[in-house]
């Protein structure tokens, strides 16, 4: 399972490897000089590190790389997110202020399904018997009203010793103002020699439930992630220089995961968005919707001239309040299983066949029909050219299973297969509407950037449903998440709640506000400088980006606004952003600065993308065959092309199938493609 091409890479001979562990495949790309080498191996869900080590060694052998010590690896891992989704994380205890042991259980008042009488809320990550309250109290001013007594810590320590714990989370009231009591408890409990996560380090912000939930989630996934990284580090077949891709689109050294482990939850999808945005911007497209369809799920994100970030997310019912790329995920992927519900209706996902046993066509014992099987049945995937012929697909078994399944719903096999794809497409269309239409954006103003192993099979149908005029499918689209990691800067995010009110009039122009903000920011910057120095970077190499979470006084939600060093321009910016988001503003009303945010950024060297001259040659040299493919329940004579042989300037009218090592792209009868100067497929309706 390997491939390579010669797109321009780093201007220097820096050797970078991007690794993305997915539910079905682990993707690896190696960039050196002007060469980009790509590789895929089957994931090993029982221990994802095995696939990573194997894949990295195989790609190094392909590129004749013998000295692993000079290679830098950026690793996007699904280890943390899978532990959270599957509830297979650590056994942890919560230490909190007495009387607040049930914050995790009570949660918020909001209900996602307001009229569902049978809705079930997710159970807390920590059961009641492992939530301990102690007598301590910090006031909202930061004053310590009740210090923790040693006798109580002794008693607590004895109770904890009875449980076989993997980690401890400490969350006290108002610790974001004064962390003294949390620090005291953490120092005392270090004798248990297990990881301790404190809320003042993970999320020094107000709102107890979000702070408790994020800290507990961080403690819950940390031992699993540490075990994964230890397996990589102790292997003598793995490069020692390892960075972790973060959900905010940046990366940090794997040596510092105490407060960053929770930030790796969406690291794979984040790499895809970063790569898609960079490639699209290079090609002249600045307003894009990224569409990443893999084996298990589909991730979408809207980039309106820049990558969109958020600090509010809910993963499997658990609020996670850390900066991350604004990505919406649905359970629709190539491995999503088709089934009949209790009413006899055809459904697709969110359950996936995964890597083992995988879709029926993988011939690894899979018994459930998947989206990939439906595409194969409709002949939209060439079994001879899947992964460049390095993996065979079982067409006969797939056909037989779909035909048997169609008898159960009493419709033809062709309609069954197309029905499966239509249902999957509708799920993904709705996901795109969540990040666009529901936020006031018109999909017609954006280009759909499609990637992931299954993205190209569905992109045209989604665009047609949404009215999107242009689709961009980059080279090596099935490995774009791994490739995008090569563009990640080193980024560390910091925040602090301040709850500072600003009125109009004299106070509006008073420099004391600027001085207060600057003092608070300098404290965050000192922490950032210290931690970035541990990463190996000096202050002169860093960019410090300031922003504020602001709301009108009395509101319960905030908007993030950039902040300069010596002006109050952020006030006018807030009114403008609020009006754009919610269609109104109140320039005369009091505003409240809720949180300060700081991003410390080191810009890394990134691969370049070659621009190639256009040709007027016909794509006949890329033609690899012709056969009938099903579109709209009818067979259409369809040409198959090898993407690696297509040249900039080539045009192909649909129907056509474009095969490449890591993905397949479908060109329906009403569409045509052009290959642009960067070898991107530009897909449009005729």
pLDDT of 5: 45
Residue 441 in tokens: 């954006």
pLDDT of 510: 58
pLDDT of 3: 47
Distance of CA 307 to the CA centre of its chain: 12
- Residue 408 exposed, middle or buried by CB count within 10 Å (0-12, 13-18, 19+): exposed
Cβ-based neighbours of 569, under 8 Å, separated by 6 or more: none
Long-range contacts of 190-193 (CB under 8 A, 24+ apart): 191/157, 192/157, 192/160, 192/161, 192/165, 192/168
What is the residue-wise DSSP string for 611-673? --------GGGGEEEEEEEEETTEEEEEEEEEGGG--TT-EEESSEEEE-SS-EEEE-TTEEE
d(CA 563, CA 567): 8
Per DSSP, the three-state class of 376 is: helix
Long-range contacts of 11-16 (CB under 8 A, 24+ apart): 11/605, 11/608, 12/605, 14/72, 14/605, 15/65, 15/70, 15/71, 15/72, 16/71, 16/72, 16/73, 16/74, 16/486, 16/607
> pLDDT, tens digit, for every residue of 466-493?
999 999 999 988 899 999 999 999 999 9
Per DSSP, the three-state class of 265 is: coil
Side-chain-side CA neighbours of residue 32 (13 Å):
16
- Cα-only R_g, the chain: 26
- Residue 117 exposed, middle or buried by CB count within 10 Å (0-12, 13-18, 19+): exposed
Closest CA to 54 of 189, 235, 185: 235
**Model confidence at 511, in pLDDT bands (50, 70, 90)?**
low
> pLDDT, tens digit, for every residue of 43-68?
888 889 999 999 999 999 888 877 77
**Inter-residue contact 421 to 374 (CB < 8 Å):** yes
pLDDT of 6: 35
> pLDDT, tens digit, for every residue of 545-584?
999 999 999 998 899 999 987 777 899 999 999 998 888 9
* Structural domains of the chain ordered from first start: 2-84+227-264 (3.30.420.40), 88-222 (3.40.50), 336-423 (no CATH), 490-602 (3.30.1490)
- Residue 46 exposed, middle or buried by CB count within 10 Å (0-12, 13-18, 19+): exposed
d(CA 131, CA 328): 32
Q: What's the pTM?
A: 0.88
């Amino acid at each position: 399972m390997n491939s390579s091409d010669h797109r321009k890479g780093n201007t220097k001979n820096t050797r970078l490897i991007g690794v993305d562990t997915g539910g079905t495949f682990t993707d690896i790309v190696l960039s050196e000089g002007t060469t980009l080498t790509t590789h895929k191996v089957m994931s090993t869900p029982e221990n994802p590190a095995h696939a990573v080590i194997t894949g990295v060694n195989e790609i190094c052998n392909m590129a004749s790389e013998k000295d692993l010590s000079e290679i830098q690896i950026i690793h996007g891992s699904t280890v943390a997110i899978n532990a959270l989704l599957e509830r297979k994380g650590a056994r942890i205890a919560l230490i909190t202020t007495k009387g607040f042991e049930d914050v995790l259980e009570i949660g918020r008042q909001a209900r996602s399904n307001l009229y569902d009488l049978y809705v079930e809320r997710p159970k807390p990550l920590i059961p009641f018997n492992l939530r301990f309250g102690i007598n301590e109290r910090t006031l909202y001013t930061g004053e310590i009203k009740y210090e923790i007594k040693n006798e109580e810590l002794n008693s607590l320590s004895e109770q904890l010793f009875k449980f076989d714990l993997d980690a401890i989370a400490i969350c006290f009231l108002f610790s974001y103002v004064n962390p003294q009591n949390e620090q005291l408890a953490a120092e005392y409990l270090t004798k248990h020699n297990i990881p301790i996560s404190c809320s003042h380090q993970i999320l020094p912000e107000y709102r107890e439930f979000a702070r408790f939930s994020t800290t507990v989630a961080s403690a819950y996934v940390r031992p699993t992630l540490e075990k994964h990284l230890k397996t990589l580090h102790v292997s003598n077949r793995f490069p020692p220089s390892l960075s972790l891709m973060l959900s905010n689109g940046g990366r940090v050294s794997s040596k510092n995961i105490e407060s960053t482990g929770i930030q790796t939850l969406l690291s794979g999808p984040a790499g895809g968005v970063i790569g898609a945005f960079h490639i699209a911007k290079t090609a002249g497209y600045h307003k894009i919707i990224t569409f990443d369809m893999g084996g298990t799920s589909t991730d979408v994100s809207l980039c309106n001239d820049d990558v969109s970030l958020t600090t509010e997310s809910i993963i499997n019912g658990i609020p996670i309040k850390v900066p991350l790329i604004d990505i919406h995920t649905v359970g629709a992927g190539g491995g999503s299983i088709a089934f009949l519900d209790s009413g006899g209706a055809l459904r697709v996902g969110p359950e996936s066949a995964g890597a083992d046993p995988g879709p029926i066509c993988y011939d690894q014992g899979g018994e459930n029909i998947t989206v990939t099987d439906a595409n194969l049945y409709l002949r939209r995937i060439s079994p001879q050219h899947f992964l460049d012929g390095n993996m065979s697909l079982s067409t006969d078994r797939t056909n037989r299973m779909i035909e048997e399944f169609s008898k159960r719903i009493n419709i033809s096999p062709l309609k069954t297969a197309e029905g499966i794809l239509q249902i999957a497409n509708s799920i993904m269309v709705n996901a795109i509407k969540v990040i666009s239409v529901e936020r006031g954006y018109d999909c017609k103003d954006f280009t759909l950037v499609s990637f992931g192993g299954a993205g190209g099979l569905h992109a045209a149908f989604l665009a047609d449903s949404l009215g999107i005029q242009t689709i961009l499918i980059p080279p090596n689209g099935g490995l774009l998440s791994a490739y995008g990691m090569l563009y990640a800067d080193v980024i560390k995010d910091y925040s602090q709640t301040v709850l500072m009110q600003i009125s109009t009039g004299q106070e509006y122009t008073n420099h004391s506000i600027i001085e207060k903000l600057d003092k608070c920011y300098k404290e965050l910057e000192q922490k950032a400088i210290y931690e970035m120095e541990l990463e190996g970077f000096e202050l002169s190499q860093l960019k410090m980006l300031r922003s504020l979470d602001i709301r009108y006084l009395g509101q319960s939600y905030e908007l993030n606004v950039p902040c300069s060093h010596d002006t109050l321009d952020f006030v006018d910016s807030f009114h403008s952003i609020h009006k754009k988001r919610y269609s109104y503003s109140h320039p005369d009303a009091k505003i409240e600065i809720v949180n300060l945010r700081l991003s410390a950024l080191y810009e890394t060297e990134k691969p370049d993308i070659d621009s190639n001259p256009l040709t007027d040659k016909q794509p006949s040299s890329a033609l690899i065959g012709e056969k009938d493919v099903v579109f709209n329940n009818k067979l259409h004579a369809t040409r198959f092309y090898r993407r690696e042989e297509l040249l900039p300037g080539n045009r192909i009218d649909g129907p056509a199938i474009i095969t490449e090592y890591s993905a397949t792209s479908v060109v329906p009868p009403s569409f045509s493609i052009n290959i642009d100067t960067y070898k991107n497929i530009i897909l449009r309706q005729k």
